[in-house]
Amino acid sequence: MAMMETGLDPAEFAESARRVVEACAGKDAAGCATLLAEAGLLGVLAPEETGGLGLPLPFALPLLQAAGAGDLAFPLLETLLLTRHLADTAPDVAAALVAGTARGSIAWAGTGAMVGRAPMADGADWLLAHAGDGAALLPGAALACRPGPGIDLSVPEYEIEVAGATAAVMLDASAWAAVAEDARLLRAALILGAAEHCLDLAVTHVTDRRQFGRPLAAFQAMRHLLARQKLALEGIRGALARAVAADAAPIARQAAFLAAASLGPQIAEATIQAHGGMGFTWDIPVHRYLRRIRSLEAQGEAPRLREAVAAALIEGN
């Protein structure tokens, strides 16, 4: 990505994020929060007044790519959004999230008494849930969580009964829309990281695995299969780069997420195929990344968004 007006390059955060995500392997959510906070990664988007760095949204993308590649068991996307969008209305909450002393989540589905698709909401201190035209920030202690129907093994989703809970802060419709808009870019980055790692695993496998006396990579069909996935991966990367350009239209963010939601599953499924029969077993981790990608696709309501973008383009022409 291009150098930002801050004089910093978002890519400079990539290696630090990768090392911290690797260090989080095997730790619970609280342990991940501590490591991420100590590295300053939870405050990348938060204003300086809450202990953050106050950087623009593109600086979070390398963090999310690293989280996707490392199968991070922590709701990093939701935490970054909460620190960014609660800084004005709930600065104490934002500061606690930046410091890693509190954990939060966002319910991406439902409204009213029951909400869902809230990653790692069980045990979270705060939950942002859609309420009416806006959203309510609810204390986790007042909520009843139960496992949801999601398929992500590392960052499981929960359904939450919110009836009777008193909101600490209310966000209006425009503020909630801003949260949802930012989430599209961050989801695209998460999917990009997960899909790229899947492709790396497949390339390593077909390079090392031999059949009929030759590496699998020597067979033209295998090379073509993976070449198509590399092209799809660069399609996601290109869409994401266009979405963060200075003059990018709002529809560019939607297109970036839709590109990731469409091509990400294709890449993961093809890499499972490249592993052959063992690709469908628990010994090969690719399925975990496919589960993460599919969950992100559902959280972003890709089918509904695809219809809305298509309608807007047709009407505009």
In the chain, which segments carry CATH 1.10.540.10? 1-102
pLDDT (0 to 100) of residue 7 = 66
CB atoms within 10 A of CB 62: 24
pLDDT (0 to 100) of residue 82 = 98
pLDDT (0 to 100) of residue 3 = 52
Residues in the chain with pLDDT < 50?
Answer: 1-2
Positive or negative torsion for Cα 78, 1, 300, 31? negative
Does the domain formed by 103-171 have CATH 3.90.700.10? no
Assess contact for 67 and 76: CB atoms under 8 A. yes
pLDDT (0 to 100) of residue 111 = 81
What is the distance between the alpha carbons of residues 22 and 131, in angstroms, rounded to a whole number? 36
pLDDT digits (tens, 9 = 90+) for 109-159: 988 789 999 999 999 999 999 988 899 999 999 999 999 988 999 999 999
pLDDT (0 to 100) of residue 246 = 67
**DSSP secondary structure string for all residues of the chain:** -PPPTTS--GGGGHHHHHHHHHHHTT--HHHHHHHHHHTTGGGSSS-GGGTS----GGGGHHHHHHHHHTT-SS-HHHHHHHHHHSTTT-HHHHHHHHHTSS-EEEE-EEETTEEEEEET-TT-SEEEEEETTEEEEEEGGG-EEEE-S---SSS-EEEEE-TTPPPSEEE-HHHHHHHHHHHHHHHHHHHHHHHHHHHHHHHHHHHH-EETTEEGGGSHHHHHHHHHHHHHHHHHHHHHHHHTSTT--HHHHHHHHHHHHHHHHHHHHHHHHHTGGGGGSTTSTHHHHHHHHHHHHHHTTHHHHHHHHHHHHHHH-
The CATH code for residues 175-316 is 1.20.140.10
The CATH code for residues 1-102 is 1.10.540.10
In the chain, which segments carry CATH 1.20.140.10? 175-316
